[in-house]
């Protein structure tokens, strides 16, 4: 499933294609939403933004389209007005004379008045957005120490969208590595220094990923490895999906594991296990 940085980059592409442009048509592939096509087709897109892993496309007529890619959804923006070759099902399309913004295979799409956006169940349950400038390390640190979250296992907590919205599977492994925290710990088990490092990483890693197009290692390291001929998958992450390979910081072997039925990766030296 795309995580917050990927959805924000998709929103940027869609916004560049349609915001302020002449709209020649809007189409929905879900029958329940076709009633909105005529009104939206004569309106202007004023903003495309994100909340966690969801996208909000606002129209001047006062309606907002909320979409969530889930596992299989994908945005495509065409450079010229034509449909791409794909076996995916078209769910939502915005047509302009020069570009088309097309959402394929997404199963969660709603149309609501602007004033009702916060009432969308998905939106209502979200915590602070990982990419929002108002989400600071201090705010995250307070949430880590709160009674609601401090006894939750970190591997589950970092996937809980009510804690911090937009985090997902690769980001949780990268955040824990960056903070030097073992996956088996809870916030309450961590030292003050570890919680501070976690809060800093929770803010920094999604923003690094957004800025670099999905790379979470140190940008200088990534560039050096790229120049040496390494493939992107080799230098994209510190530890995620790098089990059996040497840690870029200490040289120990990265370990792949599983928490909550989903892959995790960590370095046993940089992220020492909890003392029993």
The set of residues, in sequence order, having a beta carbon less than 8 Å from that of 229 and lying 6+ positions away, is none
16 is catalytic: no
Cβ 194 vs Cβ 180: under 8 Å: yes
Marked catalytic residue, from 53, 91, 99, 200: 53
Gyration radius from the chain CA atoms:
20
2 is catalytic: yes
3 is catalytic: yes
Cβ 30 vs Cβ 109: under 8 Å: yes
C-alpha separations of 3 from 50, 51, 226, 260 in Å? 11, 11, 24, 17
The set of residues, in sequence order, having a beta carbon less than 8 Å from that of 27 and lying 6+ positions away, is 37, 90, 92, 93, 95
262 is catalytic: yes
Marked catalytic residue, from 232, 258, 262, 272: 262
Residues that are catalytic: 2-3, 53, 262
């Amino acid at each position: 499933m795309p995580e917050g940085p990927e959805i924000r980059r998709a929103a940027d592409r869609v916004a560049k294609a349609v915001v302020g442009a002449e709209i020649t048509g809007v189409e929905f592939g879900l029958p329940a939403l076709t009633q909105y096509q005529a009104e939206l087709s004569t309106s202007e897109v004023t903003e495309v933004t994100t909340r966690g892993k969801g996208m909000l496309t606002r129209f001047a007529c006062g309606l907002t389209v909320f979409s969530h890619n889930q596992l299989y959804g994908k945005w495509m923006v065409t450079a010229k007005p034509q449909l791409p070759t794909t076996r995916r099902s078209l769910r939502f399309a915005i047509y302009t004379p020069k570009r088309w913004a097309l959402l394929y295979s997404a199963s969660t799409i709603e149309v609501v008045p602007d004033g009702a956006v916060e009432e969308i169940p998905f939106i209502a349950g979200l915590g602070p957005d990982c990419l929002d400038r108002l989400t600071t390390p201090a705010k995250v640190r307070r949430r880590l120490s709160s009674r609601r979250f401090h006894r939750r296992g970190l591997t589950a907590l970092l996937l809980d969208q009510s804690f911090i919205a937009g985090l997902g599977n690769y980001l949780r492994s990268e955040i824990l590595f960056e903070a030097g925290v073992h996956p088996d710990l809870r916030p309450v088990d961590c030292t003050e220094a570890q919680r501070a490092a976690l809060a800093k990483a929770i803010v920094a890693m999604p923003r690094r990923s957004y800025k670099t197009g999905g790379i979470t290692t140190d940008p200088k390291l990534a560039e050096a490895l790229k120049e040496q001929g390494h493939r992107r998958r080799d230098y994209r992450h510190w530890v995620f999906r790098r089990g059996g390979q040497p840690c870029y910081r200490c040289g120990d072997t990265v370990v792949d594991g599983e928490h909550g039925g989903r892959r995790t990766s960590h370095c046993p030296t940089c992220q020492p296990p909890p003392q029993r």
